[in-house]
């Protein structure tokens, strides 16, 4: 898998971030089962609860286009440190990804970590928990 391409797409998403309050831009890109890549950015709101993270923006774009499975996701934030998905984003990722889905956390195209989803969200509550 070409992690560099996914990271580049996450940076493209980051460029579009709307962050007038925090000034902290985040970008994400997901590779779907169909092979398409969707990117997203964080979008802030004066009512902080209405803010949307980059990961969820990318996922919701993909789902709205009929995609239902994430094969990999890349997240970029600060170039000085690794920016991991927040808890809500980890939960949303788990709705559309498998436990072994790669989650790439990048400072840049050369410095990145690759974790499995179950490493960053152990014991996830998923649709399997609802089936009795």
What's the number of domains the chain is made of?
Answer: 1
Q: Is 71 helix (H, G, I), strand (E, B) or coil?
A: strand
Phi-psi sector, 66: left (phi>0), alpha (psi -120 to 50), beta = left
pLDDT at 79: 92
Enter the pTM of the model. 0.95
With vertex at residue 34, the alpha carbon angle to CA 53 and CA 121, rounded to the nearest 5 degrees, is: 40
pLDDT at 132: 66
pLDDT at 93: 98
The count of other CB atoms within 10 Å of the CB of residue 14 is 24
Residues of the chain with pLDDT under 50: none
What sign does the dihedral 16-19-24-27 (CA atoms) show? negative
**CATH number for position 23:** 3.40.140.10
Structural domain that includes position 45: 3-129
Distance CA 17, CA 27 (A): 7
Question: Tens of pLDDT along 81-100?
Answer: 999 999 999 999 999 999 99
Q: Quote the tokens at residue 131.
A: 């089936």
User: Percent helix, strand, coil in the chain (nearest 5)?
Assistant: 35, 25, 40
Q: Which residues are catalytic?
A: 55
């Amino acid at each position: 898998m070409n992690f560099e391409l996914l990271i580049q797409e996450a940076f493209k998403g980051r460029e579009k971030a709307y962050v007038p309050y925090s000034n902290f831009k985040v970008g994400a890109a997901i590779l779907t089962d169909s092979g398409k890549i969707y990117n997203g950015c964080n979008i802030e709101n004066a009512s902080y609860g209405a803010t949307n993270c980059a990961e969820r923006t990318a996922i919701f774009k993909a789902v709205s286009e009929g995609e239902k499975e994430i094969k990999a996701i890349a997240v970029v934030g600060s170039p000085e440190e690794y920016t991991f998905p927040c808890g809500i984003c980890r939960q949303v990722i788990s709705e559309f990804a498998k436990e072994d889905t790669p989650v790439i956390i990048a400072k840049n195209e050369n410095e990145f970590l690759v974790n499995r989803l179950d490493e960053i969200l152990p014991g996830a509550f998923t649709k399997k928990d609802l089936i009795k």
